[in-house]
């Protein structure tokens, strides 16, 4: 397929590269012309403006947005709404708020433009590993773009199949899912990120407890000088708490067990807050997820080893850099 990609940051650029690598054609645009130039060297067609990108695509056009949530996405969508025609499709792959998706889709629909919301998980590793995707919008439009999603997805790999799934959508086994109506993709990804907050916090607290088991304030016969890097590595191998997050912890600790390059100041990117808001709207208790979000707030005024580990994990899976 031929597709436009707008936003060539940590994930958007690699999404375009993965598509190009597997035979799709991409026209790319970014506010930074240097990133556009880099993608043209990888085989993409560059565009200097959104107008140029739209004009370069055959109808019906498909444009994938990979921009930060907020003003930049809102302004880009307003421009595209004026430039696109009936039958075209906008695919919003950033971490947008699902209620915004519903409003945008309704506005686009007045011009006959389709809208898909795609929650994307994979971070800076997605070029090689592929991207897990949760997709909302009109199902026929989703089906038409299936070649794009199939290319970006990780594929089955060597993960054992779950018994009893014989009559379910096989695309799930490849790492992408049609969730339902518009907004549902970003809603599922939002909750995914809320859970991620809780999992990361549990690891951080556990390693913090082990790290402090050698304090002088403890009885001498109850002090243990534990090797954090080796504990992370052994837990990766057969433990019930093994996960990709633990893999990333092991990478960080093998590099520097003291995590000296991190301050422990942990940002939140919005999805955690939105997940808690949804829990409140639904009257669903979310004790762990709420506590993990509040801990990120607290981390901005003095930091523990566990919070440094949170920063290290975010850096590993998403390329997130601590604020200066």
- Phi and psi (nearest 5°) for 134? -120, 120
Please state the length of the chain.
Answer: 324
SS3 content of the chain, % helix, strand, coil (to 5): 50, 10, 35
If you ran DSSP here, which 8-state letter would residue 3 be given? E
Q: Is 161 a catalytic residue?
A: no
Q: Is 196 a catalytic residue?
A: yes
HSE at residue 23, side-chain half, CA atoms within 13 A, is: 4
- What dihedral angle (degrees, nearest 10) is formed by the CA atoms of 207, 211, 215, 221? 90
Given 25, 51, 111, 196, the catalytic residue:
196
- Phi and psi (nearest 5°) for 162? -80, 130
* C-alpha closest to that of 185 among 193, 177, 174: 177
Q: How far is 117 from 255, CA to CA, in rounded Å?
A: 37
Given 110, 111, 189, 324, the catalytic residue:
189
Q: How far is 316 from 210, CA to CA, in rounded Å?
A: 22
Residues assigned a catalytic role:
189, 196
């Amino acid at each position: 397929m031929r597709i436009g990609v707008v936003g060539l940051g940590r994930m958007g650029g690699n999404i375009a590269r993965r598509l190009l690598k597997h035979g799709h054609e991409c026209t790319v645009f970014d506010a930074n012309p240097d990133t556009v130039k880099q993608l043209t060297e990888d085989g993409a067609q560059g565009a200097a403006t959104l107008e140029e990108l739209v004009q370069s695509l055959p109808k019906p056009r498909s444009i994938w947005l990979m921009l930060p949530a907020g003003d930049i996405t809102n302004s880009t969508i307003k421009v595209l709404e004026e430039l696109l025609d009936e039958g075209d499709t906008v695919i919003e792959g950033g971490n947008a708020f699902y209620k915004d998706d519903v409003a945008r889709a309704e506005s686009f629909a007045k011009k006959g433009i389709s809208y898909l919301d795609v929650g994307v998980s994979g971070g800076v590793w997605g070029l090689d590993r592929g991207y897990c995707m949760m997709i909302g919008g009109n199902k026929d439009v989703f089906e038409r773009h299936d070649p794009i999603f199939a290319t970006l997805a990780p594929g089955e790999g060597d993960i054992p199949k779950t018994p009893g799934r014989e009559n379910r959508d096989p695309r799930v086994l490849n790492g992408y899912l049609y969730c339902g109506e518009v907004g549902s993709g970003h809603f599922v990804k939002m909750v995914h990120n809320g859970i991620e907050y809780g999992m990361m916090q549990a690891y951080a607290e556990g390693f913090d407890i082990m790290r402090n088991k050698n304090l002088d304030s403890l009885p001498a016969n109850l002090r243990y000088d534990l090797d954090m890097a080796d504990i992370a590595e052994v837990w990766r191998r057969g433990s019930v708490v093994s996960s990709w997050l633990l893999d990333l912890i092991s990478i960080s600790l093998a590099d520097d067990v003291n995590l000296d390059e991190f301050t422990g100041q942990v940002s939140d990117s919005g999805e955690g807050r939105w997940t808690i808001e949804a829990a409140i709207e639904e009257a669903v208790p979310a004790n762990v997820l709420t506590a993990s979000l509040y801990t990120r707030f607290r981390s901005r005024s003095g930091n523990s080893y566990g919070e440094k580990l949170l920063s290290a994990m975010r850096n590993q899976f998403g390329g997130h850099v601590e604020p200066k």
